Structure 1
Amino acid sequence: MDTTLTLLDLCGAVALLLWGIHMVQTGVQRALGPHLRRLLGVALGNRVKALAAGLGVTALLQSSTATGLMVASFAGAGLVAVVPALAVMLGANIGTTLIVQVLSFDVARAAPVLVLVGVILFRRGATPRTRDLGRVAIGLGLMLMALARLVEVITPYEDVPALRVLLGAVATDRLIALLLGAVLTWAAHASVAVVLLVMSFTQAGVLPLEAGMALVLGANLGSALNPVLEGARDGEAAGRRVALGNLLTRALGCLVALPCLGLIGPHLVTWQPDLSRAVADFHTAFNLVLALIFLPLLDPFAALLRRLVPERIDAHDPGRPIHLDGAALETPPVALGAAGREALRMADVLAEMMGGAGEALTGGDRTKVAQIRRMDDTLDRLNAAIKAYLVRLDPESLSEDDERRVAGLLAFTTNLEHAGDILSRNVMTHAAKRLKRGLAFSAEGKAEVGALLARLSANLSAAGAAFLTEDPRAARRLADEKAVFRDLEARATEAHFRRLREAGRIAGPVPAEATTLYPDLMRDLKRVNDHLVAGAAYPILESRGALRSSRLEAP
């Protein structure tokens, strides 16, 4: 019975450690995610800056996987080459060791203070960022509590024969220890948690230092497995190269370091007698040495990765551009035509999303919500590919008309993407809420929603035609639709509240969510129409001086 309770206590402490790490990661991502992503994008100009940015971003996120996903998205969109992306991952691997270094000191007494401060910020914070930072403080406090509890649980049982037998194989065979560390990290998706766990076992005397170092090598290897396994199923070739490159650098490092642990251990203990700190120092030194060795070799290493992971042509992938010919960049009019054809593919995807939105809003098919959100990802990928393609045009070879067309392309594709975001994030949220809570529109409401979606589809077709022909008459007709759509939205909202008042007189007060869902939906559909007008009509009218700078009357 005591053994069972102790095992449950140990598992609970590990779970608390994992949950604390999760809270820190999600809190930092919510509070600082866009800023970290922007910082990462700016620093990708050369490998040294990229390494420093990867280190800093990961030190805050405490997840090299999250940093890797950011870099893979940049690489997949063609916004960054493989070399700086690999440099970011080298820095990210160092960044994950910093929290381990901090927690290797005796800072457990700070846990209650961190939790207290975190709860105050989370409960009393006036802004979402303040509450997210409170979540980070709570997560750090939980991590410290979990580590202290691990030591308390392990210490009395370090001489238990069953535990000694279980860890005997790990202590005597470095390869088994490395594989165990890799499997645990792969399963937990958190190398920080596994390294901290190894530090606790080593400090308690349950594991010898050499076995602890082998487990740390396995943790470094395991943290690089998940991005490779996930990228093998889907993902751009550039992103898969970054993930594979990160795995290969760590695998080569483990291959060299594993036989040398017998030599490293005694020198490490002489320099750092505290075994917990020795494990943390080995973890940091391993990643620092890898960065110093591979940073100068990234060019030939990237060439090798391009051979190992060639571009994969998937004709059925709707998010893969099919018209963006790199050879056409030498001839701007041809390249702009290719980008225009790709932009019309975005319009086709958006049209399909509108059709699915109608079914999700008025029918009962829950799968349409997820399907439309996947199509929004397709829009995002096409938009990113078009922008990356246009950036590659030589500015000196562009005429004035070419520059105007580039501006029109960017306006059209950006507004299509924003329209898709509204359909995916806002309109589909309304649809999911309606399905989840069993809400239903009245027959008149369904008719009004259907009419607005039909009008949106017609306006999308008109937007595509205006973008293609650049005809000012088509642009003016589309621009007039903005006022028409505004009036339709106002009339539909007024009719909705009239129906609610009539229903309230008959059946009593109407639920609050029934009064807000429909007007919010009308407003979001109007916003989609606004983006269609802004993306297709306004650039044409503005280039011909037919667009007023303001709707306000002159004072």
Structure 2
Amino acid sequence: MFFVLMGLIGGLALFLYGMQITSEGLKNTFGNKLKQILSSLSRNKLIALLTGIIITFTIQSSTAASTLLVSLVNTGIMSLSQTLGILLGTSMGTTLTAQIIAFKVSDYALLIIVLGFGLKLLGRKRKQRFIGNILLGIGFIFLGMKVMSESVSPLKDHTLFKETLTNLEHIPLLALLASALLTSVIQSSTATMGLTISLAMQGLISLNLAIPIILGSHLGSCSTVLFAGIGASRSAKRVTLANLLFKLVGVIVFFLLTPYIILLIQKSSANLPRQIANAHALIIVGNALIFLPFTEKFAKFLEKIIPQTEEVEVLQKPKFLDSGALGTPEIAFYLASKEILRISNAVEEMVLGVMKVFTDNDERLLDEISAQDMVVDNLSREITKYLTRISFETLSEEHSKEVFRLLYIVDDLEHIGDLIDKNLIPLVEKKIDHSLVFSEKGVEEIKNMHQEVYNNLRNAIGAFALQDQRMAQKVIDHKEYIDSLEITLRKTHINRLNVGIELSQKTSGVHLDLINILKRINDHSFSIARAVVGEI
């Protein structure tokens, strides 16, 4: 019995490892499509359903896909009505895997592993190596199935085990609950299906017992999503409740229909593993189709159960960063970019505000600008920590570059904030404290320089927000003009000193430092633009 147990655990470990590798390969190959999908979500129910299927196929886990949806709703990226159709589709994405493992191709597992490893090792192009990773993962899935199937073979002659399965067949509710518990522990309904099909390949379970196991695995996949909803926003809590209710109602309906499902599925194939895979598909697809026409009404029902309270946005805290998305780099980058745009808005306001203080001597704005710099510093630290939490071991070269690109942009924005708070503000305070009055020409030059720098910063941020390389290139090209403008303004100021203009003489130090700091701010705008065009 010990070796049977070790074989089951070892086979399950290989199966789960294969799913992980396959998931990494699929995310690296198709992950860039996820961001496009999210940015073009439609209210069309069928498109939403298809989106859920695609996300689960890419991530290779309906639980992870559902948890990701909770994260996206929690950060405000998606609305509840958009999410419900996608949520129904996430479960359907697992049916393809179940159909594949029902084929008795485990004898070719080692061949698939060799092909995958060879492609991963020798592939010249990144996409070839990613496909190698997918094949390697599929090979391990089939190898895990083979190990599990062969390890349970001795149980055919084990009287106690056979009696236990017979008793479970007569108490289907107990089988359902046991399956739900197992799925909650291993956090994979697909793995539960793999184990069930392995038992079926050895003739150890019947279709009558397999159906409550399928229903239990469907229900058990809710546990991780429920945990993801703890401490989340009310909108995210509605998604976790929707996920639970969708599956709970579906399980109850199909549990009551079990005798009819058995009659229908037995006609679909004479092969028991295939019957189980077909039953799984029927239950999952049927569950989705029951609720799909009523997603809008269901959303209103959830809003009544969990009413919305007024939530005040706290700028100091991250709004979009969610650890639930870290397993999907493309989505994590998308959320980090949204958070970076919050920083950029604060930086823009700082750059605009400091000139208002300079021209109007409005000291009340100084505290606001310093407070905004603290916000920029805090959010910068949080974004940096978030990005560095993404595992570099599983990142593709392209994803690794994206991490560094975003970190560079965060660093540049933080430096702009520091230049304003630690360099520009002291100069403005000096102007106010010493009642310095600039010449009309001097004020005009500083305002002109500031406007050029501010416009270039806005264009750099806009280029990042829109991923517009043409706009970014304009920022890069404009650097030379601003550099030359700074030199020109220095010369004109020195000319005023030479002709003995008293106001220019009294403000000379502040004047020259101001235009120098404005130039340094533009250097960081230039750096942001370079990151957008991929030069960093």
TM-score by length of 1: 0.60
Query: Which amino acid is 1:203 matched to?
Result: M
Correspondences of 1:99-178 after superposition (within 5 Å): 99-178=97-176
1:274-298 C-alpha deviation (Å, 9 max, x unpaired)? 1111111111111111222211111
Q: Is residue 72–residue 239 contact of structure 1 (8 Å, CA) maintained in 2?
A: yes
Call closer, same or farther: CA 1:93–1:471 in 2, change over 3 Å: farther
Higher relative contact order (CA 8 A, sep 6+): 2
Query: Which amino acid is 1:32 matched to?
Result: F
Q: 2:4 matched to which residue of 1?
A: 6
Call closer, same or farther: CA 1:454–1:47 in 2, change over 3 Å: closer
Call closer, same or farther: CA 1:382–1:109 in 2, change over 3 Å: same
Of 313, 326, 330, 1:321 maps to 313
Measured in 1, the distance between the counterparts of 2:525 and 2:271 equals: 64
Q: Is residue 416–residue 535 contact of structure 1 (8 Å, CA) maintained in 2?
A: no
Call closer, same or farther: CA 1:480–1:168 in 2, change over 3 Å: closer
Q: 1:517 matched to which residue of 2?
A: none
Of 264, 276, 279, 1:279 maps to 276
Correspondences of 1:16-415 after superposition (within 5 Å): 16-231=14-229, 233-311=230-308, 321-322=313-314, 342=315, 345=316
Q: Is residue 56–residue 95 contact of structure 1 (8 Å, CA) maintained in 2?
A: yes
Q: 2:419 matched to which residue of 1?
A: 459
Q: Is residue 383–residue 417 contact of structure 1 (8 Å, CA) maintained in 2?
A: no
Call closer, same or farther: CA 1:196–1:78 in 2, change over 3 Å: same
Q: Is residue 344–residue 413 contact of structure 2 (8 Å, CA) maintained in 1?
A: no
SS at match of 2:93: helix
SS at match of 2:40: helix
Q: Is residue 215–residue 251 contact of structure 2 (8 Å, CA) maintained in 1?
A: yes
Call closer, same or farther: CA 1:386–1:308 in 2, change over 3 Å: farther
Q: Is residue 25–residue 134 contact of structure 2 (8 Å, CA) maintained in 1?
A: yes
1:260-317 C-alpha deviation (Å, 9 max, x unpaired)? 2133223322332211111111111111112222111111110111122334667xxx
Deviation of 1:78 (Å): 3.0
Query: Which amino acid is 1:265 matched to?
Result: I
Q: Which moved more, 1:177-186 or 1:415-424?
A: 415-424
Measured in 1, the distance between the counterparts of 2:291 and 2:202 equals: 35
Deviation of 1:472 (Å): 5.5
Deviation of 1:80 (Å): 2.7
Deviation of 1:182 (Å): 1.0
Query: Which amino acid is 1:237 matched to?
Result: R
Q: 1:407 matched to which residue of 2?
A: none
Deviation of 1:151 (Å): 1.9
Query: Which amino acid is 2:111 matched to?
Result: V
1:392-441 C-alpha deviation (Å, 9 max, x unpaired)? xxxxxxxxxxxxxxxxxxxx9xx999966884478999xxxxxxxxxxxx
Can you give the 5+ residue segments of structure 1 that lack an aligned partner in the other structure? 315-319, 323-341, 351-375, 389-411, 430-451, 484-528, 539-555
Measured in 2, the distance between the counterparts of 1:54 and 1:473 equals: 50
Q: Is residue 16–residue 142 contact of structure 1 (8 Å, CA) maintained in 2?
A: yes
Q: Is residue 478–residue 537 contact of structure 1 (8 Å, CA) maintained in 2?
A: no
- Larger-gyration structure (1/2): 2
Call closer, same or farther: CA 1:297–1:478 in 2, change over 3 Å: closer
Can you give the 5+ residue segments of structure 2 that lack an aligned partner in the other structure? 320-332, 346-372, 391-411, 428-445, 458-475, 480-519, 530-536
Correspondences of 1:461-540 after superposition (within 5 Å): 461=421, 533-534=524-525
Query: Which amino acid is 1:208 matched to?
Result: S
1:38-84 C-alpha deviation (Å, 9 max, x unpaired)? 22442334221111121123223321133224433432333332122
Q: 2:462 matched to which residue of 1?
A: none
Q: Is residue 182–residue 220 contact of structure 1 (8 Å, CA) maintained in 2?
A: yes
Deviation of 1:378 (Å): 9.8
Q: Is residue 74–residue 80 contact of structure 1 (8 Å, CA) maintained in 2?
A: yes
Query: Which amino acid is 1:297 matched to?
Result: F
Q: 1:548 matched to which residue of 2?
A: none
Call closer, same or farther: CA 1:308–1:463 in 2, change over 3 Å: farther
Query: Which amino acid is 2:281 matched to?
Result: T
1:330-374 C-alpha deviation (Å, 9 max, x unpaired)? xxxxxxxxxxxx5xx58xx89xxxxxxxxxxxxxxxxxxxxxxxx
Q: Is residue 94–residue 284 contact of structure 1 (8 Å, CA) maintained in 2?
A: yes
Deviation of 1:196 (Å): 1.5
Measured in 2, the distance between the counterparts of 1:91 and 1:417 equals: 38
Call closer, same or farther: CA 1:55–1:297 in 2, change over 3 Å: same
Measured in 1, the distance between the counterparts of 2:422 and 2:18 equals: 52
SS at match of 1:158: helix
1:311-331 C-alpha deviation (Å, 9 max, x unpaired)? 4667xxxxx724xxxxxxxxx
Query: Which amino acid is 1:28 matched to?
Result: L
Q: Is residue 31–residue 58 contact of structure 2 (8 Å, CA) maintained in 1?
A: no
Deviation of 1:460 (Å): 5.2
Measured in 1, the distance between the counterparts of 2:175 and 2:231 equals: 31
1:436-465 C-alpha deviation (Å, 9 max, x unpaired)? xxxxxxxxxxxxxxxx99976631537998
Measured in 1, the distance between the counterparts of 2:140 and 2:447 equals: 62
Measured in 2, the distance between the counterparts of 1:532 and 1:228 equals: 47
Cα RMSD (Å): 4.3
TM-score by length of 2: 0.62
Q: Is residue 453–residue 522 contact of structure 2 (8 Å, CA) maintained in 1?
A: no
Deviation of 1:168 (Å): 3.9
Q: Is residue 479–residue 533 contact of structure 1 (8 Å, CA) maintained in 2?
A: no
Q: Is residue 77–residue 384 contact of structure 1 (8 Å, CA) maintained in 2?
A: no
SS at match of 1:43: coil
Measured in 2, the distance between the counterparts of 1:382 and 1:51 equals: 28
Number of equivalenced pairs: 387
Measured in 2, the distance between the counterparts of 1:242 and 1:380 equals: 24
Q: Is residue 84–residue 239 contact of structure 2 (8 Å, CA) maintained in 1?
A: yes
Q: 1:404 matched to which residue of 2?
A: none
Query: Which amino acid is 1:150 matched to?
Result: M
Q: Is residue 118–residue 135 contact of structure 1 (8 Å, CA) maintained in 2?
A: yes
Measured in 1, the distance between the counterparts of 2:389 and 2:155 equals: 54
